[in-house]
Chains A and B, each alone.
Chain A
């Protein structure tokens, strides 16, 4: 009954069709327009709207967008002005690393109380800023206004100004009231805050071959990996915004000659502003997957019109791909023909993942994002195989439905999607900001493949009810499951996944 031969030693899971049927899962009428299928004509995916009331959106809020972008600036004080939750939930959960200061890994909050809500929180904010700046001597402070600050009418801008004057450091308000838009508006607010710093530093000594990396957050040291490639090409990276970020580097980053925008959803706004104000051109790139990573290096060499740079870029690609290729090929054998679901924040990451999965011989059967725009979804519909579901701002029920219908073997998403995958007996790869695994660059592709292989080829799926290898012994499970109970001896021994 076997149709796909798994490589020696790996468990053979590919032949067991799922017994879980998504019967009766209803798509809310108001959500239908946000779902499309690749290869089929039809209107564009409805997107960019606030989420439907009552749906369990996987999105966060404006504040989350700002926080995610600014968080890795390591030598700044980040204070959340509002009640405690917004700060508590964003305390040191991300994988963004710093080579120096660790100040950013604290959660500072004005922890507004009832009286503050009644009488206003300005005084408290001012005291908090003065105290914290005195205690931690940061290079700058970011003040995030959350939902109720917008309501109680605190003049955050005025407080920031007066504290900046008193302390001599930039104190930047980030208007991130959760309800005033979507996560994208939060990105924008963050870009606005960063933009105020740019152009205030000395640009002396910056190389003619110099770039900024916009939208790399140094998750698990990714920034360092990318910087190394450019260093080997002879290109100077002036600032990374915001991975392993430093205020002083940001202040002088207008001296760079090119902006590379990696997380386009969050950072294109800043790139455009820098182009207008400082005449710096920008290019959208991605550092995920072999194809996109190589293209990013070549793009830079091409931009500077230097054969020498191009030669060096080729050398980097050759070296790096050579290092990872044999292992990738071995894993590809096991992964060939498997199906994946992708649900991530931004569309550019989704594009890269579709391509990276192809490198591994896998097909994307479902792809969705929290913040993609109409053009992004058209691109996805074109680049994916026919039949692939394309969805904007999805929710757990829909994702479960599509995963079952498409019978996927892997889900790529964040912590909120993980339990959906696991409960359904589907492998999972974390590709969100909380991950502690470096997935960018060539080495990142290898890590990504390892993660995917480790999950998809794990022997544990032999025991989940979905694959029928092991009957669920709970009352109410289907007869069919019971009769298909595979004897334990039917399992192959598995070698440890490298």
Chain B
């Protein structure tokens, strides 16, 4: 140990693992470190660390189960009811979890397996369930997802669903036959994020049809989604719109994406769109299924979309997605980019919009971009050298990490419960300056994150409310975003996307840092 290092190791005010910032910087200065980031303090580890593929126990998971994601995606389709094929508990737990986040009704039906069903198979339960949902909800679509139980039993879902279609049903004449979309979602393979993407893909694969090619346009009018699906099916297929697979983002972000598209002069079909179904107004009338959502007709028309955009750095590395399906089957031009958080990622989104619409960036958006950069400058010294731990779904983590790197905050730990094996590449591909400074952990849980955080000594946490316990024990702020946020109001309305959404997030982060500084100071200046 050099004398310098010995000094720092003995100095309690130095918290970078006892290393001097300068000496660490030298060690890691492998050419990938942008001089602009020299103020970030590199952290004491080397490459990408991964947890063993099968650690025996998980302590406080940083993921949820696969059908939850599928249910969330199905909630974004107009008049849809998700149905889980398995026993009761899964759907009830998932409902409660979603309800606590969105503070909205989330009806998820279950085929309610009993012991007999587990032995003899769930054919009858499935068919009775589909009948009963048809009767009670008059749905436009039933999204059927499996659970660990039905997957382990090896239920032949396509066959069972096919048989339902073939048989005469004992249903009142008024009940229209809903579209049935099936997705396989075993939780012993993947996380809620995987379930979400699988359901999005299933929706598109099952429903998208080849369409006429025409001009970009067809903006959705206000309240259009409120029309009943049955009405909608009778009207003609909506004009062609850009297909946008937004990833697991908040209702407010979905609304923002729609606004952005309309700024660019194009309509958009969001798959899914729960901006209204999971953030709706008080009911003026009883609603069997909540108003809003992308209609089945819109999904069918996707084959004729002039362009498709898929958001998520990790999703972009996934082999089969809704987007790749549209591209390979219908030759829709596909843009696969990261979640638009931060200037770089938003610029990519703008480029994709430019390509899809042939228009230049509208002035309003250019101004938002300008303000964001301006605020980066205003705040850069507050954030210099700060370290953050980000956790959650892989795409959220990647999006946040890439953004943070722009601001001078080092995401020293990027952790996810997912195991796509793409997270590190996604982060370092989009933000190469993070190489050697950010530790990426897949298959992580909060037990793991806690242990790493104790060494990394972050200044703040960014992620779901599940990190609260850790933030509290470390005495550092938690900037809440992603899923779930169970301890604050307005989780549905947290925005991250676009220059404007990033702006909100950025302000929250800077203010969290300022607040800590203010509260920790003995003097307590009211003028910072």
Contact = CB atoms under 8 A, between A and B. Distances in A.
B145 interface: no
A184 to B, nearest CB: 13
A127 B56 CA distance: 6
Contacts of A84: 58, 61, 63-65, 187, 191, 417
A54 B107 CA distance: 11
Contact of A148 (B106, B107, B148, B223): B148
Contacts of A53: 110-112, 124-126, 128-129, 132
Q: Which of A55, A92, A422, A472 has the most CB of B within 10 A?
A: A55
Interface string A1-41: 00000000000000000001111011010100000000000
B131 interface: yes
A181 interface: yes
A62 B112 CA distance: 12
B232 to A, nearest CB: 14
A396 B60 contact: no
Contacts of B89: 60-64, 86, 147, 178
Contacts of B112: 50-55, 57
A418 B149 CA distance: 29
Given A54-B132, A106-B59, A115-B54, A415 B100 contact: yes
B17 to A, nearest CB: 23
A82 interface: yes
Interface stretch (A221-229, A243-251, A475-483): A475-483
A86 B130 CA distance: 25
Interface in B19-75: 54, 56-61, 63-68
Contacts of A88: 61, 63-65
A108 B95 CA distance: 21
A375 interface: no
Contacts of B282: 422-423, 425, 463-466, 472
A257 interface: no
Contact of B96 (A117, A179, A416): A416
Contacts of B100: 93, 415
B129 A477 contact: no
B306 interface: no
Interface in A449-481: 463-466, 472, 474-478, 481
A151 B132 contact: no
Interface string A56-69: 11111111100000
B109 A56 contact: yes
Interface string B274-288: 000000111111111
A178 B136 contact: no
Contacts of A86: 89-90, 93
Interface string A407-448: 000000011101110111100000000000000000000000
A325 interface: no
Interface residues of B, number: 81
B375 to A, nearest CB: 34
B327 interface: no
Interface stretch (B113-121, B297-305, B402-410, B510-518): B113-121
A114 to B, nearest CB: 5
A474 B284 contact: yes
A425 B286 CA distance: 11
Contacts of A51: 88, 110, 112
A20 B90 contact: no
Contacts of A117: 148, 152, 188
Interface string B81-110: 001001111111111110110011111111
A16 to B, nearest CB: 14
Contacts of B186: 83, 114
Given A178-B149, A179-B117, A54 B111 contact: yes
Q: Which of A58, A83, A91 has the most CB of B within 10 A?
A: A83
Given A107-B61, A466-B282, A397 B92 contact: no
A430 to B, nearest CB: 11
B226 interface: yes
A220 to B, nearest CB: 16
A474 B226 contact: yes
A408 B90 CA distance: 30
Contacts of B124: 53
Given A87-B61, A114-B189, A415-B99, A147 B149 contact: yes
A492 B57 CA distance: 57
A58 to B, nearest CB: 7
Given A110-B56, A465-B284, A472-B284, A54 B148 contact: no
Given A107-B58, A179-B117, A481-B284, 15 more contacts: A50-B114, A62-B89, A79-B57, A83-B188, A89-B65, A93-B100, A107-B59, A111-B58, A151-B149, A420-B105, A425-B282, A466-B283, A472-B282, A474-B223, A475-B226
30 contacts: A26-B136, A51-B110, A54-B131, A54-B136, A60-B88, A61-B89, A83-B186, A84-B58, A84-B65, A86-B90, A88-B61, A88-B63, A89-B94, A89-B97, A116-B188, A117-B152, A147-B147, A148-B148, A151-B149, A178-B89, A178-B90, A179-B86, A397-B107, A425-B282, A425-B283, A475-B223, A476-B285, A477-B284, A478-B284, A481-B284
**8 A-B pairs with the lowest CB-CB distances in the bound complex, closest first:** A61-B89, A85-B65, A54-B129, A54-B132, A128-B57, A89-B93, A127-B56, A179-B87
Interface of B: 54, 56-61, 63-68, 83, 86-97, 99-100, 103-115, 117-118, 124-126, 128-133, 135-137, 147-149, 152-153, 186-189, 191, 223, 226, 280-288, 417, 447, 466, 469, 486
